[in-house]
Amino acid sequence: MAPPQKHLRVAVALLSLACCATPASADAPAYAVVVSRQTFQDPAWKQVADTLLAKHNGQLILYETSVRDSLPTLKQLFPRYTCFVATPAQATRQFVADVHRLTRKLDDDPYTDTIWGILTGFDAANALRIAKHTDPLIVHKVASGTDVALDLCEEGAWYCELTQGRMVRKEKGQSPRESKGPPDTTQALVNTLNDDHADLFITSGHATERDWQIGYRYRNGSFRSKAGKLLGVDTQGKTYPIDSPNPKVYLPIGNCLMGHIDSTDAMALAWMNSAAVYQMIGYTVPSWFGYAGWGCLDYFLEQPGRYTFAEAFHANHHALIHRLNTCFPDLAKLEPKPESTFAGPVTLSDAAKRDKITANDGRGLLFDRDVVAFYGDPAWSARMADHDKPFDQSLSVVGDLYTLEIRPRLGDKSFQPVNTNGSQRGFRPFIQFLPHRVKQVQVIEGQELHPVVTDDFVLVPNPRLCDPARAYRVIFRAQPF
């Protein structure tokens, strides 16, 4: 977050602003709050927006009809972070898609140009609790309903969604150990929230806007929601209310519809309200491809401590955009209706043919691109407890010279997938966020790695085969905005 500014600044989005506006200067606000004028006129929701503005010394952008109307002012401000404050009724599937699309249009490259989040809640009071929270979160305890890389976590447990009774637990300072779990894991998973105070909760498998079905290949219980309350219901019909007040983050990486807010009974709102989830992602549609969901594990959990939760979500989205634009440039131009799968002919680029990527991959990437929501204050810091990683990554800046180095730590396996459970796992590109926006970029070393240097991050495609004896280094010159 940028150093505090002296005064709170307020702007109103005007459609007459030039759409080709140039990015703001270095003294522009690092944080913008975007909210409809109607919502801002509601005293309870105005307090949510005002709290964010005061917390981050931000700038307010009001729009009249559609969130898309905020684009001209966003282009002028070019903020590092953007929070879209929305009531549950506003935070629709289309709203999520519109936010994805407009935040890629602040400049001419195809990538998202601001780290964004949608701040909502079961009601304004719930949203205000999230907005007010300032203490950073370090994830020490992880609980999951699917297989995750606990060896990279400080402590936690996962319960298998595929094999009944299988579970793995890691105690602090020890290695993960497999053991026998209960055949119905409903109560055990509720306990990880209520009693063990998990900092990160992870789910996969079947779900709707009203429930998470815990078992994928066997009969198990479920989590359900109604009127902002979350509870577990086991296979015998016994209920377990969920009341977990410790702030946490939630990754429903493989669930259908967990991010779709279709009413105040939506699961997403119950997670925020009765489980103190302050940041989460979630598909707003039935999922089938999985790149935009499962890949968040690759960046957040499997590179522990490197990224905040918001950065990990956006790093994975940058990876998706890179893959889509590199392999399917014609598809990348489309903006289909959320939930629809492109059924027309797909042209594969030479890169797609070389990497044996199919037309179905292109359809899947396009399907996933704009349908996963990020809820919460995007500038709130939640990150995994630091842990040894398969590779080291560092950026040094000396004057106008930027050097990104990637150093293997596991020999020729350093760039391989850490965990293959799920869909579209592993081989994500290396992503390095820059400390400030840059321009006039000139790559002077590492061109053979095919780096992409944007105004605020560097992407280096994963070479898959790692040569521990070589240097993986990109050096470029650039000027700050």
* Same domain? 70 vs 206: no
Low-confidence spans in the chain with pLDDT less than 50:
1-26
102 shares a domain with 219: no
The total of other beta-carbon atoms located within 10 Å of residue 391's CB is 15
Residue 411 belongs to a domain: yes
**Domain hosting residue 176, numbered range:** 139-300
The residue out of 70, 89, 119 marking a domain boundary is 119
Please report whether residue 232 resides in a domain. yes
Q: Are residues 190 and 250 in the same domain?
A: yes
- Same domain flag for 81 and 190: no
Q: How far apart are CA 23 and CA 458, in angstroms?
A: 19
Same domain for 147 and 273, yes or no, is yes
Total domain count for the chain? 3
For residues 455 and 236, give the distance between their C-alpha atoms in angstroms, rounded to a whole number.
Answer: 55
Query: Does 354 map to a domain?
Result: no
Question: CB-based contacts of 99: which residues, under 8 Å, 6+ apart?
Answer: 67, 84, 116, 118
**106 and 169, same domain (yes or no):** no
What DSSP element (H or E) covers 363?
Answer: helix 359-369
C-alpha to C-alpha distance for 369 and 362, rounded to whole angstroms: 11
User: 329 in a domain, yes or no?
Assistant: no
In terms of domains, do 164 and 284 share one?
A: yes
Q: Please report, for the domain that includes residue 102, its CATH number.
A: 3.40.50
Instruction: Tell me the backbone φ, ψ of residue 444, rounded to 5 degrees.
Output: -115, -10
3-state helix, strand, coil split of the chain in percent (to 5) is: 25, 25, 50
- Rg, the chain, Cα only: 22
Same domain flag for 147 and 292: yes
Task: Answer yes or no: is 382 within a domain.
Answer: no
pLDDT at 23: 42
Distance CA 223, CA 247 (A): 19
End of a domain among 282, 300, 318? 300
**Residue 132 falls inside a structural domain:** no
Q: In the prediction, which pLDDT does 355 show?
A: 87
Q: Are residues 50 and 100 in the same domain?
A: yes
Element (H, E) at 399: none
pTM listed for this prediction: 0.94
Residues 157 and 261 in one domain: yes
Q: Given the structure tokens 């009944």, which residue do they identify?
A: 164
Is residue 230 within 8 Å of residue 220, measured between CB atoms?
Answer: no
Residues 143, 284, single domain; the answer is: yes
Same domain, 71 and 33: yes
Of 244, 279, 300, the domain-final residue: 300
Q: E strands within 284-365?
A: none
pLDDT at site 28: 58
415-439 pLDDT per residue, tens: 999 999 999 999 999 999 999 999 9
| pLDDT one-digit tens code per residue, 236-285 | 999 999 999 999 999 999 999 999 999 999 999 999 999 999 999 999 99
Task: Indicate whether 102 belongs to any domain.
Answer: yes
Q: Is residue 193 part of a domain?
A: yes
The three-state secondary structure class of 295 is helix
Q: What is the DSSP string of 17-50?
A: S-TTPPPP-TTS-SEEEEEEHHHHTSHHHHHHHH
